[in-house]
Each structure stands twice: as structure tokens, then as C-alpha cells.
């Protein structure tokens, strides 16, 4: 029996390896088809939405909050670097983070990671340490989104079973980033990422994570909360919201953003985030409002990343000019 299982594994493994590059395109195609169908079914309602001066004002607020979220995320990255004994400063980390962030929309969805690793290498940071710090950031983001979604979503649930499930999920999320558990996961994913980018990882003596990353984790929760706030303002631009509706939006955004981060699809979670948000919120909000909101928010998110990259470039130029005059 074991020999038959082994033969099946030996047959399936190469097949999965060949199909893996096409998986993201299958997911992207499926999500885009779902979004297109939802838009087709609700096109008349979407065109009937009223766009007023207040709408543009709230969308501008959403843009500002989303830009602040990216600035904050770059600052949190320097806390992550400090855990690996790389105190490079918040200004440097924010500039590099923002400049490389837009590269995730390039084919392959790896160039923002590659840019950050290369930037760290120019400072003398060992390649292994650089890869670890870069890979750790989205992992903490994923845990942060799970924690925020669980906390906010739990407020609307009743019954002891829901609360027990909420506590269990929170405990799992918090324990998952303990160094004893997090280090093996971090090392494994870092080696895979380094191999994919043709970087040497094994030769470096990379310091393992020695302390619980509490401050970076809280920082990433703040990042996801800011992103969720931007989404809430986007929806509010199209429809007045109650307190319960805001809670639903934050919880749904956290889960949709988490799935967009971890599921292999288009760069930046394009398609996965939108399809998940539409599925989760379609029964609670008018379909036209949710469809328009996810479209507006995708535009706002991309624009905020472009503005952030431009600000980082200008800040770097001003710093270089000031140093050259000294």
C-alpha cells in the first residue's frame, strides 16, 4: 500500500510543479469573471449612483488615510529590521519601502521584495538577514489582518460558540508569531523566496528572531486598521453608514485584504480582494455601492502607492542635495 501511495506522490508532485505557474492565472481569471458578472447584473444600479462634491471629499480623505497607511508601514519595517540587529532608521526604511512598493504590480509579483533586499545589501546587511526581514513583513501583516478581523467581527456575533471560536483564533494568531514557531516558518519561506530570486541564503549566518515581535505586530495591526478606515470612507462616500455597518466593513475588509495577500493571484491582490469583498458584503449593502466602492478603492490604493513612491524619491533627492551642500 505504501509503495502505491509513493508512486502516486511521485506522479502528482511533478504535475503540480508544472501547473503551479498557471494557478495564479486560473485564480485571476475566475475572480475577474465573478466581478464582471456582478457588474453586468448590477450595471444599471451602478450608473444610477449620485456622485456629489461630498463624494469627492470623502474619497480624498480615503486617499489621504491610505497614503498614511503606506507611510506607517514603511516606518514599521524599520522596527522589523531592528529585530535583526539592523538599526537603519525609520526615514531610510520608509523611503526604500515606498519606492519599491509600486514594483509589486510588475509581472512576477516579486520585484518589490527583490528591490528591498538589494537596498539592504547596499548597507552591508547579510543577504540572509535581508531576506528574513523582507519576508517577515507580509507574514506579520497577515496575522495582523486576522487579529483585527476577528476582534471587530466578534463584536457583532452572539453566542458562546462564536466567542470560544474567536478566542481560539486569536490565541492561534498570537502564538503563531512566537519565535519558537515563527522562526522555522520564517526560515523556510525565506529560503524559498531567496531561491526564487536567485539569491544566496544558505551562506549567511542570519540571526534568528530572539524576541516576540510585539511592537511590529501592533504596528501592522495599525496598518491594516488604517487601510480598513480608507475603505470605510470610500463606502461612506456613496452611502451613509451606521456604527454596525462600519464594523462589518472593517471585518470584511480585513478578511478580503488577507486573502488578497496570501492567495496567489494578480499582483497586489487585484481581483481576489474585490471578489471577496463583494461576496462578504453583497448581502448587507446594495450591490451597486459595493461594486463602485471596490473599484474606487483599488484606484485610491494604487494612486496612494504612486504618490508615496514620488514622495520618497523627492525626500531622498532633498536629503542628497542637503548633504552635498555641507
Grid coordinates standing for 18?
508544472
Grid coordinates standing for 317?
533627492
What is residue 326's three-state secondary structure? coil
Which is more confident, 14 or 85? 85
CB-count burial class (<10 Å; 0-12, 13-18, 19+) for 34: middle
pTM of the model: 0.85
Is residue 244 over pLDDT 50?
Answer: yes
- Express each pLDDT in 65-103 by its tens digit: 999 999 999 999 999 999 988 888 889 999 999 999 988
Strands (DSSP E) contained in 19-103 are none
Grid coordinates standing for 282?
453583497
Report for 102-111, 116-125, 191-200: range of highest mean pLDDT: 116-125
Q: How is 272-306 classified by DSSP, letter by letter?
A: HHHHHHHHHHTTTS-HHHHHHHHHHHHHHHHHHHH
Enumerate the domain spans of the chain.
Answer: 57-325
Grid coordinates standing for 47?
450608473
C-alpha pair distances (Å), 168 with each of 104, 162, 325: 33, 10, 58
- Express each pLDDT in 15-32 by its tens digit: 545 555 555 556 556 555
Split at pLDDT 50, 70, 90, the class of 170 is confident
Which is more confident, 198 or 135? 135
pLDDT score recorded for residue 125: 85
Phi-psi region of 198 (alpha: psi -120 to 50; beta: other; left: phi over 0): left
C-alpha pair distances (Å), 223 with each of 90, 117, 118, 230: 15, 22, 24, 11
Span 208-225, mean pLDDT? 92
Amino acid at each position: 500500500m505504501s509503495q502505491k501511495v509513493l508512486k502516486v506522490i511521485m506522479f502528482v508532485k511533478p504535475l503540480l510543479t508544472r501547473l503551479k505557474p498557471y494557478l495564479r492565472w486560473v485564480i485571476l481569471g475566475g475572480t475577474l469573471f465573478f466581478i464582471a458578472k456582478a457588474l453586468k447584473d448590477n450595471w444599471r444600479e451602478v450608473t444610477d449612483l449620485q456622485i456629489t462634491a461630498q463624494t469627492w471629499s470623502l474619497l480624498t480623505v480615503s486617499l489621504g488615510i491610505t497614503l498614511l497607511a503606506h507611510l506607517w508601514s514603511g516606518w514599521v519595517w524599520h522596527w522589523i529590521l531592528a529585530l535583526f540587529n539592523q538599526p537603519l532608521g525609520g526615514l531610510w526604511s520608509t523611503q526604500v519601502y515606498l519606492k519599491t512598493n509600486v514594483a509589486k504590480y510588475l509581472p512576477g509579483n516579486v520585484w518589490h521584495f527583490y528591490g528591498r533586499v538589494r537596498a539592504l545589501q547596499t548597507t552591508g546587511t547579510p543577504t540572509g538577514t535581508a531576506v528574513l526581514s523582507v519576508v517577515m513583513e507580509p507574514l506579520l501583516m497577515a496575522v495582523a489582518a486576522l487579529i483585527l478581523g476577528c476582534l471587530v467581527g466578534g463584536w457583532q456575533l452572539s453566542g458562546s460558540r462564536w466567542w470560544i471560536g474567536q478566542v481560539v483564533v486569536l490565541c492561534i494568531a498570537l502564538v503563531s508569531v512566537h519565535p519558537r514557531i515563527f522562526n522555522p516558518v520564517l526560515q523556510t519561506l525565506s529560503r524559498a523566496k531567496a531561491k526564487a530570486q536567485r539569491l544566496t541564503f544558505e551562506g549567511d549566518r542570519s540571526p534568528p528572531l530572539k524576541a516576540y515581535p510585539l511592537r511590529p505586530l501592533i504596528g501592522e495591526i495599525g496598518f491594516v486598521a488604517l487601510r480598513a478606515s480608507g475603505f470605510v470612507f470610500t463606502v461612506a462616500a456613496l452611502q451613509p453608514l451606521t456604527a454596525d455597518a462600519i464594523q462589518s466593513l472593517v471585518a470584511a475588509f480585513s478578511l478580503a485584504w488577507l486573502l488578497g495577500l496570501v492567495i496567489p493571484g494578480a499582483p497586489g491582490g487585484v481581483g481576489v480582494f474585490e471578489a471577496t469583498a463583494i461576496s462578504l458584503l453583497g448581502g448587507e449593502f446594495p450591490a451597486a455601492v459595493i461594486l463602485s466602492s471596490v473599484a474606487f478603492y483599488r484606484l485610491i490604493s494604487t494612486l496612494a502607492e504612486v504618490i508615496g513612491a514620488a514622495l520618497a524619491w523627492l525626500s531622498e533627492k532633498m536629503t542628497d542635495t542637503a548633504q552635498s551642500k555641507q
